[in-house]
Structure 1
Amino acid sequence: MARQTRRSVLAALGSGLFLTAGCGAFGRERVDVLVAGSLQKAASETLQTRTDVELAVEARGSVGAARLVADGKRDPAIVALADPTLFDRVMDTAWYAVVASNEMVLAYNPQTDGGTSVAAAEPWYDPLQSDDVSLGRTDPALDPLGYRTLFVLALAADYYDEPGLSDAVLASDQTYPETQLLAQFETGAVDAAFVYRSMAIERDYPFREFPPEIHLGDPAHTAQYRETSYELPNGTTIGASPIEYGAVRRDEQEATRTAFEAVLSGDWLAPHGFTVREEYPRVVGDVPSTVTR
């Protein structure tokens, strides 16, 4: 499996797979981009400023997005997901690029009584076991944020020696679409939510941090993370691992190549609280021959 340097990946990208770019406003080329919900703001705002190509951004939970593409219900030129595993397990792509990392946190609403109790609690999970605190999370069947929430709770149960933690915290009425989860703070519908650090930072919500053994953002704890997993509705098992975001280009049009170079640069992600490591972009799989090796 080939691994390219950051400079070589950005310098050239080989032929992709399927779609053609369209025509946008004022004669500019338009590229359809399907992204994870947690990438919506970064893609719609900052990424657009990094390229002259017009981006038509659609955001969905990554599992649902990957399924739409795999089932032929969406045909975007570029796909960016919150878990590169989905490129292999759901979309069955030949290759993809890893572009960023993140970590899990517990955001809270400082204007509610429940949120205030989450802010002050030691340990952080105590208020979440009470009916007095409303918790928000996403559906693990639809997006990685949902199953990573389950991973955090499973890891926390071991870390704090609280074997019944997940059952005590989770309830069936807590799930919201990823693109709407933090908006629930605005209405007071939830006091706290399991989210990515980037989601809390770009919306300026306070949050509780987890130890690196739990937050899924530290590669040094990869072996520990892998002790837990989740089975998607299609029977695919997703193992816990350090959080990474991946992207793939699906056509060889010039506009798409230009837009994808901006995706690979990573500088559109750092301002939104994502971690862009020196090793990114890391290209994985059957990399197109025109990429410098």
Structure 2
Amino acid sequence: MRKQRPEGGGRSRRRFLRATGVAGAAGLAGCLRGWSPAGATGDDAGEESPTVAVLSAGSLQHALERGLEPAVDVPVRIESHGSATVARLIDEGQRDPDIVTVADTALFERPLSPPWYSVFTSNAVVLAYNPDTAGGRRVAGASPERWYEPLVEREVRLGRTDPDQDPLGYRTLFALELASRYYDDAPDLRERIPRREQIYPETGLLSRFETGSIDAAFAYRNMAVERDYEYVALPDEIDLGDPGYDDGWYSTVSYELPSGQVVRGGPIEYASTIRRMSDAARSVFAVHTTGSYLAESGFVGSDRFPRYEGAVPDEVRRATDGSNGSRSNRPPTERAPGDAVSEITVLI
């Protein structure tokens, strides 16, 4: 089934930013990294902790380091995991964050089941490649409708993430299955392409280009844009980035997690919630879910975001409605009058 021709050629951060009219986020200071164990809420359990712990999807790591940290008025420390691991760490009591963010709202249906959450941005699956390697050049030289052939013929050292650990892993399998249906005579790509030795952690996937371990990788578009890597833009019918293809198309593919939970294909949506309410948590949450750093990092925004599900507290709505990403436009050293300084720990 071919519904439209895919976009041809490689893309990079420069081309993406020119197309969207978004300036880069260069020059922003990186943030400290760290984590807080379960139940760590400060020296005095009877007082509000000055530290807000946020556990979040690994594909947000670069954006939070370069964009969120300089946009808030507090120090930020960062750790990252695949979203399925994030959900498992909380469900098993290994982490007890104030804020949690995942790359698939299905993980908020089970196992986390928060009373409310904000859906705040989207993404798309792409095939990133290194044009300086033989395998990468094979990807770049393939016909726009035959990008998968070098992968099937095993002429490319391919990287992907573990579908049992994060949504990018199972979305890669979804994209391959949809591609098999989309192109007229493509083989069963979900069966032919994946091999176990291709799997790497999400947070270090594209760094394998620098080490020479891989020539190409299935990644989120923001991951390629942030690092200025070339990528093949897949058709909307394949990249899981267009809500218009949800019912009857994206939703026809699925994957069973080790827990037995079956996740189905759908448009990529990131969601976040505050688990322990505080002024500091609301402040960080507002910039995290509405800041312009998301567009600068290649994430996709639209009039649909932010969208709330469940019984969202009024004070959260007020905080995010009043933010509108404006704080992200302040220079990192500038503070608004009366801004309080607290320590924020972000676990990604």
Is the structural similarity TM-score above 0.5? yes
Match of 2:163 among 133, 140, 155: 140
CA apart distance, 1:29: 3.7
Residues 226-252 of structure 1, C-alpha deviation per residue, up to 9 Å, x if partnerless?
Answer: 010111110101010000111111111
Q: How many residues align?
A: 272
CA distance in 2, matches of 1:209, 1:290: 39
Match of 1:167 among 191, 199, 218: 191
Aligned pair 1:47/2:68, yes or no? yes
Residues 11-64 of structure 1, C-alpha deviation per residue, up to 9 Å, x if partnerless?
Answer: xxxxxxx978659xxxx9432221111100111221112211222222100000
Q: Secondary structure at the match of 2:56?
A: strand
CA apart distance, 1:266: 3.3
CA distance in 2, matches of 1:20, 1:142: 25
Residues 59-94 of structure 1, C-alpha deviation per residue, up to 9 Å, x if partnerless?
Answer: 100000111011110011111111121111121211
Structure 1 segments unaligned to the other structure (5+ residues)? 1-17
Residues 31, 55 of structure 1: 8 Å contact kept:
no
Residue equivalent to 1:256: 281
* TM-score, normalised via structure 2 length: 0.75
Residue equivalent to 2:262: 237
CA apart distance, 1:163: 4.2
Residues 35, 57 of structure 1: 8 Å contact kept:
no
Give the 3 Å change call, closer, same or farther, for CA 64–292 of structure 1 in structure 2. Answer: closer
Residue equivalent to 2:32: none
CA apart distance, 1:263: 1.4
CA distance in 1, matches of 2:188, 2:204: 29
Match of 1:86 among 95, 107, 113: 107
1:102 is matched by which residue type in structure 2?
N
CA apart distance, 1:277: 1.2
RMSD value, Cα:
1.9
* TM-score, normalised via structure 1 length: 0.88
Residue equivalent to 1:4: none
Q: Secondary structure at the match of 2:208?
A: helix
CA distance in 2, matches of 1:263, 1:238: 26
Give the 3 Å change call, closer, same or farther, for CA 155–95 of structure 1 in structure 2. Answer: same
Aligned pair 1:129/2:152, yes or no? yes
CA distance in 2, matches of 1:286, 1:231: 29
* Shift >6 Å, 4+ stretches: none
Q: Secondary structure at the match of 2:286?
A: helix
Match of 1:220 among 220, 244, 248: 244
Residues 63, 143 of structure 1: 8 Å contact kept:
yes
Matches within 5 A, 1:70-81: 70-81=91-102
2:282 is matched by which residue type in structure 1?
R
CA distance in 2, matches of 1:48, 1:22: 21
Q: Secondary structure at the match of 2:173?
A: helix
Q: Secondary structure at the match of 2:89?
A: helix
CA distance in 2, matches of 1:152, 1:216: 7
CA apart distance, 1:127: 0.2
Give the 3 Å change call, closer, same or farther, for CA 79–292 of structure 1 in structure 2. Answer: closer
Identity of aligned residues (%): 49
Structure 2 segments unaligned to the other structure (5+ residues)? 1-37, 44-48, 319-348
2:156 is matched by which residue type in structure 1?
V
